[in-house]
């Protein structure tokens, strides 16, 4: 079967919570293997160039540490280190399937990963390698959502695929409200004006300024990443 992807280069944003699966904390090996298999299938079948940004909320959330009295800068740096752990675990799972990958970190740690260099990242993508960006932007007070928007703009990604625990964007919390309605399509302005929890406002503004569409979908459902890459209807699209 011949696949015709809607995009030639995408950035996949995986939340840390998604890697925890039903555990709620840490890394669920079954979940990370399933995500790695999907990434492998998408890259090998469609030849799309894929970069990834991983969150760290399954290990440590900087903003949560700050809320409990920890210095915000220190807490955010701890959160960045958590994303490196997730990136290394994902790289291991991807490479076990035979797909080449590289981890690039915004904070230098040469023993475990390359430092982030934009031109090198693009070169890796052009060679068919999956590039995993870790440690956020390297600056406190910025989320990994903002890192995803920033890296997507820097590498000229044509879309950001937001792999979450929920299957789209709702008008209220679907866990608390069984009557919550899912949006199929939104504009950046609607997301900002309605304070919808897609990304933080800095990240949404960055996507809007650079005209990068967002596709929000459930990571648990097998085949969703492929559907998003092929331009099929999945989850919620923000553009």
CATH number at 169 reads: 3.40.1160.10
Using the CB atoms, write b or e for 111-138: b if 16+ within 10 Å. Answer: eebbebeeeebbebbeeebbbbbbbbbb
Q: pLDDT at position 123, please?
A: 98
pLDDT given at position 173: 78
Is residue 209 pLDDT above 80, yes or no?
yes
The answer to whether position 4 is within a domain reads no
Cα 25 to Cα 179: distance, rounded to the nearest angstrom: 28
Structural domain total, the chain: 1
- Please report the pLDDT score of residue 196 as a whole number: 84
Q: Confidence band (pLDDT; 50, 70, 90) for 100?
A: very high
Q: Name the residue with tokens 């752990």.
A: 85
What is the token pair recorded at 183? Answer: 């949006």
Domain-embedded: residue 227: yes
Span 159-182, average pLDDT:
85
User: What is the arithmetic mean of pLDDT over 76-94?
Assistant: 95
Angle between helical axes of 144-154 and 118-126 (0-180°, round to 10): 70
pLDDT at 21: 82
Structural domain includes residue 2: no
pLDDT 10s digits, 133-155:
999 999 999 999 999 999 999 99
Total number of residues shown for the chain: 239
- Is residue 1 included in any domain, yes or no? no
């Amino acid at each position: 079967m011949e696949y015709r992807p809607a995009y030639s280069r995408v950035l996949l944003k995986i939340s840390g919570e998604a890697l925890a699966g039903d555990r709620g904390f840490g890394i669920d090996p079954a979940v990370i293997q399933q995500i790695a298999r999907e990434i492998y299938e998408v890259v090998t079948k469609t030849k799309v160039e894929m970069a990834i940004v991983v969150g760290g909320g399954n290990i440590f959330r900087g903003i949560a540490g700050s809320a409990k009295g920890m210095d915000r800068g220190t807490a955010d740096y701890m959160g960045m280190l958590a994303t490196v752990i997730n990136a290394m675990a994902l790289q291991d799972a991807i490479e076990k399937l035979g797909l080449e990958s590289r981890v690039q970190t915004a904070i230098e740690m040469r023993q475990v990963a390359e430092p982030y260099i934009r031109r090198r990242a693009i070169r890796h993508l052009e060679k068919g390698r999956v590039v995993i960006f870790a440690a956020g932007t390297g600056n406190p007070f910025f989320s990994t959502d903002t890192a995803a928007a920033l890296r997507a703009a820097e590498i000229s990604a044509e879309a950001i695929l937001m792999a979450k625990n929920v299957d789209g964007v709702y008008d209220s919390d679907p866990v608390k409200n069984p009557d919550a309605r899912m949006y199929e399509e939104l504009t950046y302005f609607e997301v900002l004006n309605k304070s919808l929890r897609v990304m933080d406002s800095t990240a949404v503004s960055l996507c809007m300024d650079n005209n990068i569409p967002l596709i929000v979908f459930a990571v648990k459902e097998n085949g969703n990443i492929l559907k998003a890459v092929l331009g099929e209807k999945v989850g919620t699209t923000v553009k």
